[in-house]
Structures are given as C-alpha cells and as structure tokens.
C-alpha cells in the first residue's frame, strides 16, 4: 500500500477511520500510480509498460485530478480513482474513453463532463466502507463543480469465460441499455459467443453495479481491452441521479 504524509491533503470527507481527498502534489500522485500498478499489473496481470518502474501512469494522468481514500489508522492510501474534466480534456485533446469508443453521439461542447477512470481498491479493503467513501468524494466533486455528466469505462473480467460476459451483457441490454441516439461504437469490438445468448444470472462487477444502481446507462457493446484482459463498456450517468439519498446511503455504510 502507499503511504503519504498527513500535511499534503485537500480534505473532502472524513470520518473516524477514513479520509477522502484530492492528491495535490507529485509525491502523492506517484503513490496513487504505485497502488494502481500493484492492483492492475501485479494482481490482475495487466500488460503495462516495463518502463513504468512499478507505476501505472499514462499521458492522461498529468491532467487528471486523483481522488484518494486514506486509512487514518495505518497512514495508508487504500483506494484511488482519477477524474478528467473538460479543462483536462483540452490538454489531452480526448477523454481516455475516446481511445476505446467513438463518442460522437455523446459529447457536446456545451456540456460539462467528468470522466472516471483507473479506479482501484487495495484487496484488503474491497468489502465495507472504502468504495462508499470513494463515491462520496466523487459525488461531492460533481455537486460542487456543477458537472452535468459522469462518463467512463467500466470493466468486465474475461477470465470467467464466455458465459459470464454474455450473462452480464444480456442483463445490461435488458435493463440498462441507452437509446439508439446515445449509442457508442467500440473501436475494437469484443465478439460475444452465441452459445450463451440467453444467460442472465451473473453477479455484476462491483463498480459496474454501483453505476447501474444510480441509473447509469450502458451505451453499447463492449470494447476488448487486450492489455488489461477485460471487456470495457461505456457508462453515462447524469449527475442529477447522484442523489442525496445515495450519499446518505453510502455515508451510513461507511460509518457502520
């Protein structure tokens, strides 16, 4: 896990055990990149560049806000996600999602977006309050900055086989699919097997489930991310659906 000095934080939310903040210096950001590398490369086997020196960092990171959940009891970063807003996109020229999907039907120059990406939680903290605190921080940022939409890629593991990915996608298309006017096209489509075309009994990935519970739309078929060994779907969530009820629900879980 990644350790940080207590005097380098911009505090968003705090309770007895956890703090949520935006990393405000390069040292803290490097600790986020280190945690990401440990989760994505070492734990999940993602094929990241060998030149990264134990950090997961790409050309988008210098233009993102890096949200952190910090365990106050052991002085460790235990979760992180990065947020790329409209101003950051002016520097990168595209959202990360545009490396995977054609977003012609989505992006509007008069609309404010925050793209959520590279979300990861240390394996010892995946049950309980940490995801709740992470989403509390995202909700606060969205509200305070008057963001119109959250966008991003949610991953579905491919290691569980064809039946699993088919089951997840069947559930999505039946219950959470965007209308045709909001569809995106994957630049590298994942070919789904016809053998399990009616399966619909999978347990959804945790992050994807969190999006869907808030009324997010999945805007098309998945992209095959060969480097990470996952299928990515594009998520569109109106900020108005990040309700007070939702925040209270997650705060209650965090404090419980």
pLDDT, one tens digit per residue, over 103-160 is 999 999 999 999 999 999 999 998 878 988 898 889 888 888 889 999 999 999 998 8
Note the pTM of the prediction, 2 decimals.
0.88
pLDDT score at 254 = 44
pLDDT score at 179 = 97
Q: If you average pLDDT over every residue of the chain, what do you get?
A: 87
Tokens of 24: 């405000």
Q: What is the tens place of the pLDDT at every residue in 155-167?
A: 999 988 888 999 9
Q: Using alpha carbons, select from 227, 87, 101, 108 the residue that is nearest to residue 152.
A: 101
pLDDT score at 55 = 93
* Cα(101)–Cα(127) distance, integer angstroms: 31
Q: Beta partners for 18?
A: 71
Q: Any residues with CB less than 8 A from the CB of 241 and at least 6 apart, and which?
A: 214, 215, 216
* Cα(85)–Cα(76) distance, integer angstroms: 27
* Cα(136)–Cα(254) distance, integer angstroms: 10
* Cα(98)–Cα(110) distance, integer angstroms: 18
Residues constituting the chain? 256
**Residue 162 CA: distances (Å) to CA of 45, 112, 195, 230:** 19, 36, 8, 12
Q: What is the tens place of the pLDDT at every residue in 25-68?
A: 999 999 999 999 999 999 998 887 655 788 999 999 999 999 99
Tokens of 16: 């007895």
Is the pLDDT confidence value at 180 over 90? yes
E strands, 46-166, in order: 65-71, 76-85, 101-102, 113-121, 149-157
* Cα(106)–Cα(183) distance, integer angstroms: 8
């Amino acid at each position: 896990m990644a350790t940080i000095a207590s005097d380098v934080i911009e505090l968003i939310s705090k309770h007895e055990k956890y703090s949520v903040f935006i990393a405000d210096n390069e040292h803290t950001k490097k600790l986020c990149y280190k945690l990401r590398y440990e989760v994505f490369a070492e734990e999940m086997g993602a094929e990241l560049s060998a030149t990264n020196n134990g950090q997961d960092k790409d050309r988008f990171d210098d233009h993102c806000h890096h949200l952190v959940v910090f365990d106050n009891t052991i002085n460790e970063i235990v979760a992180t996600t990065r947020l790329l807003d409209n101003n950051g996109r002016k520097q990168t020229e595209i959202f990360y999602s545009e490396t995977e999907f054609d977003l012609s039907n989505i992006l509007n120059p008069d609309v404010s977006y925050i793209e959520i990406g590279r979300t990861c939680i240390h394996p010892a903290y995946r049950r309980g309050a940490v995801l709740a605190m992470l989403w509390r921080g995202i909700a606060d940022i969205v509200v305070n900055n008057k963001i119109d939409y959250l966008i991003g890629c949610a991953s579905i593991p491919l290691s569980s086989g064809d039946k699993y990915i088919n089951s997840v996608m069947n559930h999505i298309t039946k219950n959470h699919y965007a209308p045709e006017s909001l569809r995106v096209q994957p630049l590298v489509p994942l070919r789904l097997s016809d053998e399990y075309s009616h399966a619909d009994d999978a347990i959804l990935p945790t992050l994807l489930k969190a999006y869907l519970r808030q009324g997010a739309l999945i805007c098309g078929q998945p992209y095959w991310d060969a480097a990470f060994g996952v299928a990515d779907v594009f998520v569109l969530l109106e900020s108005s659906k990040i309700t007070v009820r939702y925040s209270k629900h997650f705060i209650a879980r965090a404090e419980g």
